[in-house]
Structure formats: C-alpha cells, structure tokens
Homo-oligomer: A and B are copies of this chain.
Amino acid sequence: MAYGYGQEDCPVARALDVIGEKWSLLILRDLFRKGPLRFQAFEAALPGIAPNTLSARLKSLEAAGVIATRLYEEHPPRYEYNLTEKGKALGPVLKALHNWGEAHG
C-alpha cells in the first residue's frame, strides 16, 4: 500500500488510503446493506459511476483486504463481491457517516 503523503504514522491517514474516496465508501455501503453483489448490481446501485472506475475501486478494495471476490460461474467466469472481516469492521465508520448525513448532510 502506498501512502503518498508522508503520514504513515496516522491511523486516520492510513484508513483513508484504503477508503478515502466517495465511490469506495458507497460500494461498502451497498455491501453492508445488500450482502454479496455482482458487478452489474453495483452499476445499477451507483448511477453515474463509470465501469472502469467501479472496476478500479473494487480491485483496490480487494487489494486492501476489505472485500473479497468469489467465482460463482465458471463459463463464462463471473464473480460476486462481499465484505471481509476487515471490511465488516468499517461498520462504525458508515454508521457515523449515516448519522451525520441525517442530522447535517
């Protein structure tokens, strides 16, 4: 994982290196709400996201160990995505964002 802004010692900065971008957090939100999802389900749930952006965010979240993929069809190969334990541990972050958005957003 590259930090890029010299703040490796800060847990907030490290957390944001993994999820500090709105699409990543909305992908996690959808997995919390709906469980395992296929690529097409994310596209439908996130109008406005470009397929290559979605693909890049999913790969980045997987590389960070926050989500995992599972092959559910071999011919042609198709995958679904779900939260890992590390990803599920982000629940309080989403909850805090939800509460603030409800009160102030």
Contact = CB atoms under 8 A, between A and B. Distances in A.
Kindly report how many copies of this chain are found in the complex they form together.
2
A59 interface: no
Interface in A30-72: 46-49
Interface residues of A, number: 40
Contacts of A93: 93, 96-97, 100
Given A6-B48, A21-B22, A46-B5, A11 B92 contact: no
A22 B25 contact: no
A29 B12 contact: yes
Given A10-B101, A21-B22, A95-B96, 6 more contacts: A5-B48, A6-B47, A11-B105, A13-B22, A17-B22, A89-B103
